[in-house]
Copies of this chain bind each other. A is one copy, B any other.
Amino acid sequence: MQTDFTATRALFDIPEGLIYLDGNSLGPLPRAVPGRVAQAMQAEWGQMLITAWNNAGWMEQPARLGDRVARLIGAEPGSVTLGDTLSIKVFQAVSAALQARPERKVILSDNGNFPTDLYMAQGLADLLATGHELRIVAPEAVEEAIDETIAVTMLTEVDYRTGRKHDMKRLTAKAHAAGALAFWDLAHSAGAVPVALAECGADFAAGCTYKYLNAGPGAPAFIYVAPRHAATVQPALCGWLGHDAPFAFEQGYRPAPSTERMRVGTPPVLQMAALDAALDVWDSVDMADIRKQSLALTDRFIAEVEAACPDLTLVTPRDHASRGSQVSFAHPEGYAIMQALIARGVIGDFRAPDILRFGFTPLYIGMDEVERAAAILAEIMATRAWDRPEFHARARVT
């Protein structure tokens, strides 16, 4: 199968004329979503009421959608479930790893990790109050830092600021050789680059579905538990829907014998319906085609911008093997430059202190848009169009 990107582009509702290079923050609206959510509201909730938990399949949704996501991240059937937020799933995965390595006290991460992973892990360590340490090194120092003190490596495969991609297979093998477990955050990987969790031997993984998977604002997170761990990990957040028999209403907790034990409370059915419709887009997509086209788009953007904008410093690796699906440039006036771009209809985002970030998503971004975006950026830089008071005024959320 050769993925038809003209066909996938037609599956999205994107405002006319906008060049949307922020799908790595919030994917655009798939055309199938509003109808599917309306059905969940009216035909299911409205007409079936409580019986929809059985009759509309709401209770099985997290596992069913887990299998749809599993296909995109190289995971075994039954190994992925949906729910909660990525922060919560990070907590569960890291906690499970620490409980499986009780004699070790170090969580190893890097300073390119997204802050919520670091906060959740530190919060867990503080809560445990048993001498756990969150050890944070530079991304390039991670491999060297894996030793026999490490309980778990907690790494985000693709750096949210720089787009630098870790070598999952190599680092997982290094962790295992040292007796540690490996947890991978796939926030900027799922739907962006081919992921091979099973092949790499990852122990745990989690990610969100509102970026490259286009499931909408606040869409549920996913968590992966390697089948070899599924019957023994402690979920830490022991909610009734992770129980082996939730509707027996037993007084004591007995976890389900599978990844389903990582479920906690009632799933967000409307957001699950949106995710279900958003995943339809992927039925006709080959991740190898996505990767090939993503590299072509990012290569072109790098080349055009570097040729025209000498003041911007590339912070994304040139090496394909070390690059995710975004391109970032640094500039001291990065914030104002991004505001000027947005005013011209090119939507990227700014990440403190000085990063201009552009996500490239072959499903709905083509070479034409890359060239137009680069040309607009070149013009803004050449004319210093960013240097206007309104572009320096910071909004609360950027």
User: Which residues of A come within 8 Å of B, CB atoms?
Assistant: 13, 15, 18, 20, 22, 25-26, 28-29, 33-34, 37-38, 41-42, 45-47, 49-54, 58-59, 84-88, 91, 95, 99, 111, 114-116, 118-120, 122-123, 126-130, 136, 208, 210, 216-221, 234-241, 243, 247-253, 264-272, 274, 342, 347, 349, 351-352, 395-398
Contacts and interface: CB of A to CB of B under 8 A. Distances in A.
A29 B13 contact: no
A183 to B, nearest CB: 16
24 contacts: A28-B49, A33-B41, A34-B38, A34-B42, A37-B38, A51-B347, A84-B265, A85-B265, A86-B266, A87-B240, A91-B237, A95-B127, A114-B240, A118-B252, A119-B239, A123-B253, A136-B251, A216-B270, A218-B267, A218-B270, A219-B268, A247-B352, A268-B268, A271-B271
Contacts of A91: 237
Nearest to A118: B251
A338 B15 CA distance: 51
A10 to B, nearest CB: 15
Question: Is chain A's interface secondary structure helix, strand, loop, or mixed overall?
Answer: mixed
A352 B245 CA distance: 12
Nearest first, the 3 A-B pairs at minimum CB distance are A85-B265, A123-B238, A217-B269
Contacts of A52: 217
Contacts of A266: 85-86, 208, 210, 217-218
B87 A265 contact: yes
A171 B210 CA distance: 43
Which of A234, A264, A347 has the most chain B CB within a 10 Å cutoff?
A: A264
Contacts of A264: 85, 87-88
B20 A239 contact: no
A157 B240 CA distance: 19
B347 A49 contact: yes
B217 A397 contact: no
Contact of A271 (B247, B249, B268, B352): B268
B269 A216 contact: yes
Given A115-B240, A349-B50, A270 B274 contact: yes
Contacts of A45: 26, 28-29, 216-217
Contact of A41 (B208, B216, B221, B342): B216
A352 B119 contact: no
Contacts of A54: 395-397
A126 B115 CA distance: 27
Nearest to A56: B217
Given A20-B49, A123-B235, A397-B54, A115 B249 contact: yes
Contacts of A122: 238, 252-253
Given A116-B240, A270-B271, 19 more contacts: A13-B42, A15-B46, A18-B49, A29-B46, A53-B217, A84-B84, A84-B88, A84-B265, A95-B127, A120-B237, A122-B253, A123-B234, A123-B236, A123-B238, A123-B253, A208-B266, A220-B268, A221-B265, A248-B352
A46 B51 CA distance: 31
Nearest to A248: B352
Contacts of A123: 234-238, 253
Nearest to A123: B238
A397 B251 contact: no
Nearest to A111: B251
Nearest to A349: B50
A218 B243 CA distance: 18
B37 A49 contact: no
A397 B239 CA distance: 16
A213 to B, nearest CB: 14
